[in-house]
Each structure stands twice: as structure tokens, then as C-alpha cells.
A and B are shown apart, each in its own frame.
Chain A
């Protein structure tokens, strides 16, 4: 029997298929609950995989993690509670679509483009792993610094309305990110003697507060004037995406490529990928003014991008045993337990296992269509509950979600503080999304900057001395200068005419 046929036989074993369906349902359930993440879903599965065959174990983890990343988008679209920082990039658009009665289109786009992103990432994983992994290893702290800075620059593009108000939001996020002891000299920064703050501000409670609790507070003061989100119908959910695919093929492809490339960089991951893709989508869009008001274009690009990044993260994990994100870090452990030692030789010595893994990947992403459809159908029933009963229930979910991250009341205190802050920010037209971006990327920015400075003995020009770093640096500076140059050109053109 050929190696490929052997691999197919391994995957299409009834036991493996059943494991995939069950772990997929589990991943969807965990991912859709605010406060519980895809990483948690994966970690919870590890003890169960001890009792499984290697392929069943890997299939369980791959399926659960892919489903959990997608289902994190569902509470974002229905209740404005983003499941992951990656889905926070486009939560405003998804939620506005549900409120405007276009939930079917929004949720359908999230599902379909997640699948497309995942499949694209997998195909690249199959075809170009060794090559991409080689490039990814050339990324050192200098390159990451520019990449993070590029991600932060996305704040200017993702914020609708006034640019300085968007920057105020970014600064709020950065200040929150600098709290705690996790800094170069491990000095307690802005902790005010509080022991809980020494560990810094966890972004999930902050995110739940800024988006979801702020929305509850807004409902309490504005009440019925806001209008209730309409329960989306799941009829024709997938068919409604055919015109969207026809309309935005370029965006879809760009999201897929950006996601896979950024995902393949160890430590960058789906969060940066989704934010950069969303910003890129807005920057190159013909209708940038519609972003943030319930526009599907950003969902297409960023939704595809974050799932492509999940597959991309497996590239360095398989080729070198270097985890691309927290999920693959857990996965590498499972691979070792099951006798699959990640590294270049895995492609030669265990070809049938690695092929089976690729097939599992494709199958898991395709399985997302029926299971995701069922999950959307089940979860939309929550919108049948009247607003005056739903808002208190959302509050309870916020409390439990925030608690689950820290396993202490401190998570709830953080969530409440950020909820009030989010409410005040929205009242003052300060967008929320850039604050999340600052909170997530702030620590990475500091870490890569300080590491680079230690390496180069404090010489700032070192950021331009390596070829990839120089390229990324010049690109970032061009991105900053572009609006200014465009304005000058526009004025000159106006003066001429």
C-alpha cells in the first residue's frame, strides 16, 4: 500500500472520525463561551488524548482548536463579546450587522471565510512548510519589533472617525499594558501596592469589559432607543456567501496570504494577523467609510486571515518544533507523547503520519461547515430572549467569563473597571478597538525593543541593519507617512485645478 493510501486509511477510521466530530462539538462549545479560549479547549483535551491512538489524538486537538477559533466569533457577532483578541478586530462590524438585521450575512461570512482561510493555510502548510519555516527563522527581535509596530499602526486605520481620538484609545491600551512586573527590570509599574496587579492586566477580562459590559451600561441609559439585535435566520446562510465571495475575491486572497505568513512567524499569531488584515482591508477598500458600521468586507479579510494564521502556526511547529502560538505549544507536547518528534526528519521518517495529519487538517476545516452551521443555529436562539432579560444574562456571562480567566474575583474587578472605561470612551467617540490593540501588542513591543537594544548595545540604527528588518522598517515608516503625502498631493492638485 502506498504511503498516501496508508494515511487515508488511518484518518478514515470510524473511531478517528467520531473523535473528530465529538472534539469539534467540544471546541465549538468552549470557544463560544465568553472568557474561555481556544487554548483552554486544547489544554482540556490533552489528558483525554493520553488514551487515544496517535492520529486520533492529533485529530482531536486539530479539530477542537480550529472550531474554537471560529466559534469565538459567534458571541462577538450576537452579543458584542469577542471570544479572542483576534475576533475583537472586527467585532464592531459583525455586531452592527446583527443589529441591523443582517446577522445572517455576517455570521455566514465569518463561517465561510474561516473555512476558506483554514483550508488555504493548510494547503500552504502542505506545499511550502520547509521554505516558509526557513524564512520565519530569519525573524529576530529586530524584525518582530517592526512587525508589532506595524500592527500598532493598524490602530489609525481601524478607528472610525477622528484619528487623534483613535490614538487616545491606543494610548489607553498601552498604559494598561505597562502595568505590572513583566518589564525589563521587573519593577512593579503602576500597581499602587496591589498584589493582584503585579501580574499585569489580563486582556480577556479587559476585553469583555470594554465591549460587552460597556454595551450593557449603554443599554441601561439609552434603553429601547438603541434597538434590539434581530435574531438572524440560518436559512440560506451558506448560499448568501456566494455573492460575497464573487464581490471580494481579492480581499479573501489577501487575508489568506497575510494570515498564513504572519501565522508562520513564531510568536506573532492570529491576533496580529487579524488586526493587520482588517487595517489593510480598510486601507485598500473603495468604501473605507463603511468600516465599523456593519460592513462585510473587513470580516471577509480578517476572518479568513485569523484562521489561516492558525494553520500557519503549525509550519514552524512541525518543521523545527518551535511553537507558533500557545495552541501549537501544547500540540508539540502531545506530538512527543505520541512518538511523533517534530523536526525536519518527521517528513521523511514518519511520512504516513504527517500525511495523515494534513488530511486531518483539511477534514477538520471542512467539518467546520456543518458543525459551525449547527452552532450558529443553536446560539442565535439567545437573541429570541427580549433585551430587558438578555442584558442581565449577558452581564452574568461577563462576570463568569472574567472570573474563569484568573480564577479569582480580581478578573471581575478588572472587567468592571474596563466596562466603565469603555462606556465613557464610547460616550466620547473614542473607539474601543485600538485600546485592545495597545493592550495586546504593548508587552510585545517593549520586549522586542529591549531585547534588540541589549543585543545592539543601545544602537537604534541596528533596527535597519538586517535586510528583512530594514525592509519592514521602511515599509512601516511609509505607512505612517502615506496620509501626510496624500494630503500634500491632494492640496497641490486642488491648487492646480
Chain B
């Protein structure tokens, strides 16, 4: 879905309004004119101007056209399925990594993503295993990044 100038302009304008009302709760520095509210207020003013600019530009150049256009992939349910699956897999990784540990959860994630992109199961599993072990060694051992070890299996990784 690609938003036209008018639709994007209205969205920007709404964002500007939301930002304006959200920034009113912040206060200036004691004894000063400016403070925590200054930057968000300036951004909201700019956003309002850009929103109006987009609406006017769309008014002139997009007359008679729809507010948004459907892009080529958006009509394929499989594409929507793939992107949703990828986002869900990463969300699952975020939720599981502390419990399962980095090695196991990234192995599951990587294999699942490779199956999603159309790789065959056995090579996907083999390559995932090698990649995860290399990453685990490079980041965890060499660069001392404290990758989660996991409560599930406290194996020596």
C-alpha cells in the first residue's frame, strides 16, 4: 500500500496534533522560557507545516486519483503470510531467548526463517547450526558479548 500525498499529509497533520497535545504536559526549566517541551513543540509545528505542504501538493498533482495505491505484492496472500511469519518468529525469539538461551532459540529462528524463504529442510538445519555456532563463538567468546545462556538448558555454551 502506497499512500498518496494527501493521505500522508493528513496522517502527518494528525501526528503533529498528537505531538502537540502530548508535549503540553512538559515544563520549561525553572526561571527559563524553554525546556523539555521545546523540541517536541518545534517538531509538531514543523510536522503541521509539512502535512499542509503534502496536502496542497497532493491536491494539485493527484486530482482524480485514489488516496492510496495497492502495491503489486499486496494482492498476494502468501507475501502477507511470509512477512507476518517473520515478524512473529522474531517476536517469539525475543520472548524465548532468556529462557531457551541464545544458541537454541537462534537455531530455531534461523532454521524456520530459511524454511520460510524456501530452503530445503536438511541444508537449512545444517547451515543454521554452523552459523549459530560461529556467531556464538565470535560474539560470545571472542568479543565477550553476554549472550543469554538460558535457564532451560545450562549447557556449556
Chain A positions near chain B (C-beta within 8 angstroms): 30, 33, 36, 44, 162, 164-165, 167-168, 171, 174-175, 178, 183-187, 189-190, 216-217, 219-222, 387-389, 391-393, 395-397, 399-400, 403-404, 407, 409, 412-413, 416, 420, 423, 427-429, 442, 445-446, 449-450, 453-454, 458
> How far is B9's CA from A171's CA once the two chains are assembled, in angstroms?
13
Q: Which residues of B contact A216 (CB under 8 A)?
A: 86
Q: Which of A44, A183, A429 has the most CB of B within 10 A?
A: A183
Instruction: Determine if A427 and B71 form an interchain contact, defined as CB atoms under 8 angstroms apart.
Output: yes
Judge whether B67 is part of the interface by a CB distance below 8 angstroms: no
Instruction: Determine if A185 and B116 form an interchain contact, defined as CB atoms under 8 angstroms apart.
Output: no
Q: Which residues of B contact A217 (CB under 8 A)?
A: 83, 86-87
Given contacts A165-B8, A446-B38, contact A220 B117 (CB under 8 A): yes
Judge whether B150 is part of the interface by a CB distance below 8 angstroms: no
24 contacts between A and B (CB under 8 A): A162-B57, A165-B54, A178-B43, A185-B27, A187-B27, A187-B36, A219-B117, A220-B86, A221-B82, A389-B119, A392-B117, A393-B110, A395-B113, A399-B93, A400-B147, A409-B94, A409-B97, A412-B94, A416-B94, A420-B87, A423-B83, A450-B34, A454-B29, A458-B32
Shortest distance between the CB of B100 and any CB in chain A (Å): 12
> How far is B87's CA from A147's CA once the two chains are assembled, in angstroms?
39
Instruction: Determine if B106 and A175 form an interchain contact, defined as CB atoms under 8 angstroms apart.
Output: no
Instruction: Determine if A400 and B82 form an interchain contact, defined as CB atoms under 8 angstroms apart.
Output: no
Given contacts A184-B34, A446-B39, contact A221 B19 (CB under 8 A): no
CB-based nearest B residue for A224: B118
Instruction: Determine if B110 and A396 form an interchain contact, defined as CB atoms under 8 angstroms apart.
Output: yes
Q: Which residues of A contact B36 (CB under 8 A)?
A: 183-187, 189
Q: Which 5 A-B pairs have the closest CB atoms?
A: A392-B113, A388-B117, A221-B79, A458-B33, A185-B36
Q: Which of B5, B90, B93 has the most CB of A within 10 A?
A: B90
Q: Which residues of A contact B17 (CB under 8 A)?
A: none
In B107-157, which residues have CB < 8 Å from any A CB? 109-110, 113-114, 116-119, 123-124, 127-128, 131-132, 135, 138-139, 143, 145-148
Query: In which size bucket is the chain B interface?
Result: 35 or more
CB-based nearest A residue for B26: A187
Q: Which residues of B contact A189 (CB under 8 A)?
A: 26, 36, 40
Instruction: Determine if A400 and B145 form an interchain contact, defined as CB atoms under 8 angstroms apart.
Output: yes
Instruction: Determine if B90 and A416 form an interchain contact, defined as CB atoms under 8 angstroms apart.
Output: yes
Judge whether B104 is part of the interface by a CB distance below 8 angstroms: no
Judge whether B65 is part of the interface by a CB distance below 8 angstroms: no
Instruction: Determine if B145 and A404 form an interchain contact, defined as CB atoms under 8 angstroms apart.
Output: yes
> How far is B33's CA from A37's CA once the two chains are assembled, in angstroms?
38
Q: Which residues of B contact A453 (CB under 8 A)?
A: 32-34
Instruction: Determine if B73 and A445 form an interchain contact, defined as CB atoms under 8 angstroms apart.
Output: no
Q: Which residues of A contact B38 (CB under 8 A)?
A: 184, 446, 449-450
> How far is B114's CA from A219's CA once the two chains are assembled, in angstroms?
13
Q: Which residues of A contact B9 (CB under 8 A)?
A: 164
- Which among A185, A388, A420 is the interface contact of B118 at CB below 8 angstroms? A388
Judge whether B2 is part of the interface by a CB distance below 8 angstroms: yes
> How far is B31's CA from A348's CA once the two chains are assembled, in angstroms?
48
Judge whether B66 is part of the interface by a CB distance below 8 angstroms: no
Instruction: Determine if B143 and A442 form an interchain contact, defined as CB atoms under 8 angstroms apart.
Output: no
Shortest distance between the CB of B116 and any CB in chain A (Å): 7
Shortest distance between the CB of A76 and any CB in chain B (Å): 19
Chain B positions near chain A (C-beta within 8 angstroms): 1-3, 5, 8-9, 12, 15, 19, 22, 26-29, 32-36, 38-40, 43, 46-47, 50, 53-54, 57, 71, 73, 79-80, 82-83, 86-87, 90-91, 93-94, 97-98, 106, 109-110, 113-114, 116-119, 123-124, 127-128, 131-132, 135, 138-139, 143, 145-148
Shortest distance between the CB of B76 and any CB in chain A (Å): 8
Given contacts A30-B143, A221-B82, contact A388 B138 (CB under 8 A): no
CB-based nearest B residue for A181: B36
Shortest distance between the CB of B61 and any CB in chain A (Å): 10
Instruction: Determine if A389 and B1 form an interchain contact, defined as CB atoms under 8 angstroms apart.
Output: no
Q: Which residues of A contact B54 (CB under 8 A)?
A: 164-165, 168
- Which among A167, A391, A450 is the interface contact of B35 at CB below 8 angstroms? A450
> How far is B79's CA from A450's CA once the two chains are assembled, in angstroms?
47
Instruction: Determine if B109 and A396 form an interchain contact, defined as CB atoms under 8 angstroms apart.
Output: yes
CB-based nearest B residue for A458: B33
Q: Which residues of B contact A44 (CB under 8 A)?
A: 143
Instruction: Determine if B135 and A396 form an interchain contact, defined as CB atoms under 8 angstroms apart.
Output: yes
Instruction: Determine if B53 and A178 form an interchain contact, defined as CB atoms under 8 angstroms apart.
Output: no
Shortest distance between the CB of B128 and any CB in chain A (Å): 8
Instruction: Determine if B117 and A396 form an interchain contact, defined as CB atoms under 8 angstroms apart.
Output: no
Instruction: Determine if A168 and B87 form an interchain contact, defined as CB atoms under 8 angstroms apart.
Output: no
Instruction: Determine if A221 and B43 form an interchain contact, defined as CB atoms under 8 angstroms apart.
Output: no
> How far is B46's CA from A168's CA once the two chains are assembled, in angstroms?
9
Instruction: Determine if B46 and A413 form an interchain contact, defined as CB atoms under 8 angstroms apart.
Output: no
Shortest distance between the CB of B80 and any CB in chain A (Å): 8
Instruction: Determine if B50 and A168 form an interchain contact, defined as CB atoms under 8 angstroms apart.
Output: yes
Q: Which residues of B contact A387 (CB under 8 A)?
A: 117
Shortest distance between the CB of A408 and any CB in chain B (Å): 9
Q: Which residues of B contact A446 (CB under 8 A)?
A: 38-39
Shortest distance between the CB of A484 and any CB in chain B (Å): 13
Instruction: Determine if A220 and B32 form an interchain contact, defined as CB atoms under 8 angstroms apart.
Output: no
Q: Which residues of A contact B8 (CB under 8 A)?
A: 165, 168, 428
Instruction: Determine if A171 and B114 form an interchain contact, defined as CB atoms under 8 angstroms apart.
Output: no
Shortest distance between the CB of B95 and any CB in chain A (Å): 9
> How far is B117's CA from A387's CA once the two chains are assembled, in angstroms?
9
Q: Which residues of A contact B116 (CB under 8 A)?
A: 220, 392
CB-based nearest A residue for B58: A164
Q: Which residues of B contact A171 (CB under 8 A)?
A: 12, 15, 43, 46-47, 50
